[in-house]
A and B are shown apart, each in its own frame.
Chain A
Amino acid sequence: MQIYVPLLVTLAWRNLWRHVRRTLLILFALALGVWSMVTLAALTRGSMEQQLTSAFANLIGHIQIHLPGYRDDPVIDHRFAEPAGALRDALDAPDILAWAARVRVPAVVSSEQESAGITLVGIDPARERGLSFLANAVKEGRMLMDADDPGIVLGRKLAERLETALGRRVVILSQDSANKIADRGFRVVGIFDSQPEMIETAYVFIGLAQAQRLLRMPGAVSEIGLIAPDRNRLDAPLDRLRAAAPQLDVQPWTQIEPTLKLTESVTDVILMIWYVIVFVAMSFGLVNTLLMAVFERTREFGLFQALGMPPSQILGQVLVESLFLLAVGLALGNLLAFATLAATADGIDLSAFAKGFEMIGVSPMLYPMLKFDDALSANLLVFVLGLAASLYPAWRAARYVPVEAITRT
Chain B
Amino acid sequence: MEYTVVCRNLSKVYRQNSIAVQALADINLEISKKDFLCLSGPSGSGKSTLLNLIGGLDLPTSGDVSVDGIALATLDRAALARLRLTRIGFVFQAYNLIPVLSARENVEFVMQLQGISAAERRTRAMDILKEVGLDGLEDRKPGELSGGQQQRVAVARAIVSGPSLVLADEPTANLDSKTAENLMQMLVQMNAEHNVTFVFSTHDKLVMDFSRRLIKLHDGRIVEDVRRG
Question: A306 with B57: in contact, given A312-B78, A403-B52, A406-B92 (CB under 8 Å)?
Answer: yes
Q: Is B58 an interface residue (CB 8 A)?
A: yes
Q: Is A185 an interface residue (CB 8 A)?
A: no
In-complex Cβ contact of B81 among A6, A309, A401, A403 (8 A): A309
A266 to B84, CA, bound (A): 58
**In the complex, what residues of A have CB within 8 A of residue B157's CB?**
307
**In the complex, what residues of B have CB within 8 A of residue A10's CB?**
101, 105
Q: Is B215 an interface residue (CB 8 A)?
A: no
A254 to B81, CA, bound (A): 62
Q: Is A284 an interface residue (CB 8 A)?
A: no
Q: Is B112 an interface residue (CB 8 A)?
A: yes
A299 to B84, CA, bound (A): 17
A310 to B75, CA, bound (A): 13
- What is the number of residues of chain A that contact chain B, defined by CB distance less than 8 Å? 25
A-B pairs under 8 A by CB, number: 71
In-complex Cβ contact of B96 among A14, A312, A403, A406 (8 A): A406
In A1-34, which residues have CB < 8 Å from any B CB?
A: 2, 4, 6-7, 10-11, 14-15, 18
1/0 per residue, CB under 8 A from A, across B99-111: the answer is 1110001000110
Contact call B113/A7, Cβ cutoff below 8 A? yes
Contact call A2/B78, Cβ cutoff below 8 A? no
Contact call A308/B58, Cβ cutoff below 8 A? no
Contact call B78/A7, Cβ cutoff below 8 A? no
Residue of chain B at shortest CB distance from A312:
B78
- What is the number of residues of chain B that contact chain A, defined by CB distance less than 8 Å? 28
Dominant SS among interface residues on chain A: helix
A321 to B219, CA, bound (A): 44
A263 to B112, CA, bound (A): 57
Q: Is A305 an interface residue (CB 8 A)?
A: yes
**In the complex, what residues of A have CB within 8 A of residue B83's CB?**
308
Contact call A307/B92, Cβ cutoff below 8 A? no
A4 to B105, CA, bound (A): 14
Contact call B98/A303, Cβ cutoff below 8 A? yes
Contact call A308/B78, Cβ cutoff below 8 A? no
Q: Is B90 an interface residue (CB 8 A)?
A: yes
Q: Is B77 an interface residue (CB 8 A)?
A: yes
**In the complex, what residues of A have CB within 8 A of residue B114's CB?**
308
A131 to B47, CA, bound (A): 89
Q: Is B82 an interface residue (CB 8 A)?
A: yes
In-complex Cβ contact of A309 among B55, B96, B100, B113 (8 A): B113
A310 to B76, CA, bound (A): 11
Q: How far is the CB of A49 from chain B (nearest CB, A)?
A: 49
A2 to B115, CA, bound (A): 9
Contact call A18/B100, Cβ cutoff below 8 A? yes
Contact call A403/B77, Cβ cutoff below 8 A? no
Question: A308 with B52: in contact, given A303-B98, A401-B58 (CB under 8 Å)?
Answer: no
In A246-279, which residues have CB < 8 Å from any B CB?
A: none
Contact call B113/A306, Cβ cutoff below 8 A? no
Contact call A11/B84, Cβ cutoff below 8 A? no
A137 to B175, CA, bound (A): 90
Q: Is B86 an interface residue (CB 8 A)?
A: yes
**In the complex, what residues of A have CB within 8 A of residue B29's CB?**
none
Q: Is B85 an interface residue (CB 8 A)?
A: yes
Contact call A402/B58, Cβ cutoff below 8 A? yes
Q: Is A311 an interface residue (CB 8 A)?
A: yes
A401 to B96, CA, bound (A): 16
* Nearest 10 CB-CB pairings of A with B: A308-B85, A14-B100, A403-B58, A403-B57, A402-B57, A308-B84, A403-B52, A310-B81, A310-B78, A303-B96
* Pairs A–B under 8 Å by Cβ, sample size 13: A10-B105, A11-B100, A18-B99, A303-B92, A305-B81, A306-B55, A308-B85, A310-B77, A311-B77, A313-B113, A402-B58, A403-B52, A406-B92
Q: Which residues of B contact A (CB under 8 A)?
A: 52, 55, 57-58, 77-78, 81-86, 88, 90, 92, 96, 98-101, 105, 109-110, 112-115, 157
7 extra A-B contacts, CB within 8 A, seeds A4-B112, A300-B99, A306-B90? A7-B109, A299-B96, A303-B98, A307-B84, A308-B85, A310-B81, A311-B81
